[in-house]
Amino acid sequence: MARSKDPVLVVGLGRFGLTLARRLTSLGVQVLAIDSDEAVVQHASYTVPNVMTTNSTDIDALRGLGAGDFTRAVVAIGSNVEASILTVSLLSDLGVPAIWAKASTTQHARILERVGAHHVVQPERDMGERVAHLVSHRISDYIEIGPDWVLAKMNPPQSMVGIPLGGSKIRDKRKVTVVAVKHKDATQYTHCDAGTVLAYGDDIMVMGRPDDVERFADS
């Protein structure tokens, strides 16, 4: 099982991969970042300590850098779908137990899962979903935390103001859970319980299925 400080192999140093490698490094995680383009590697070397030019579609090259010893790898190859799929497949063959991969389309995501990716992200789609909810004004932040589960920040609907959460029967009626609240004049969030009373101007964190959260926000 991977631990939070185990080294991470990052494959592909485009904008997504390089940002990821830099952030992991800043968090104190040891990173080995690789890319097939020597110029890209040279640029990345200014901000990522361990970076090298390697062909990730060559299993001997992956073995040579010890890819099979990593407990976590992120395949951040963007435009070259074939290289992305082959790299994930090879890392799976080498026994890497936790493989994250970037997908450019839903079909690409499905193939990555079939060849061995344990977690697939679609940054453009996910950001589009998030921005759509922000633009709608009903929800001020929106994060997918599972295949059909979201966490959203919003103001409480009028029907929820002034009564304890336990008396609102929100889970039974709305199929969502208010997990945290930042009261209007507070500086941080606190956990909600049955006795929590919401007020106008509060920020609340609501968890549930996307459609249920949307309906709750609309109310």
- Tell me the pLDDT of the chain averaged across its residues: 89
Domain ranges of the chain: 8-121, 138-218
State CA 110 to chain mean position distance: 17
User: pLDDT band at 13, cuts 50/70/90?
Assistant: very high
Closest of 83, 122, 116, 85 to residue 98, by C-alpha: 116
The band of 214, judged by pLDDT with boundaries at 50, 70 and 90, is confident
For residue 158, the model assigns a pLDDT of 85
Predicted local confidence at residue 134, as pLDDT: 66
- Mean pLDDT for 177-205 is 91
Three-state secondary-structure class, residue 200: coil
More confident residue, 136 or 9: 9
Third-level CATH fold of 138-218? Alpha-Beta Plaits (3.30.70)
**pLDDT at position 167, please?**
85
- How far apart are the C-alpha atoms of 100 and 199, rounded to whole Å? 41
The fraction of the chain above a pLDDT of 90, given in percent, is 61
pLDDT at position 31: 96
pLDDT average, residue stretch 136-151: 78
CATH of domain 8-121: 3.40.50.720
Listed range (131-135, 159-163, 200-204) with the worst mean pLDDT = 131-135
Q: What is the pLDDT of residue 184?
A: 85
- Residue 73: the pLDDT is 97
- Which residues in 57-67 are b (16+ Cβ under 10 Å) and which e? bebebbeeeeb
State the Cα–Cα distance between residues 14 and 130, nearest whole angstrom.
22
| Alpha-carbon distances, residue 118 vs 41, 58, 131, 157 (angstroms) | 26, 21, 26, 38
Mean pLDDT along residues 171-179:
90
* Tens digits of residue pLDDT in 24-70: 999 899 999 999 999 999 999 999 999 999 999 999 999 999 999 99
Tell me: pLDDT of 1 over 60: no
Whether the pLDDT of residue 207 is over 60: the answer is: yes
Taken in order 196, 200, 204, 208, is the CA torsion positive or negative? positive
pLDDT, tens only, 89-143: 999 999 999 999 999 888 999 999 999 999 998 887 777 777 776 666 578 788 8
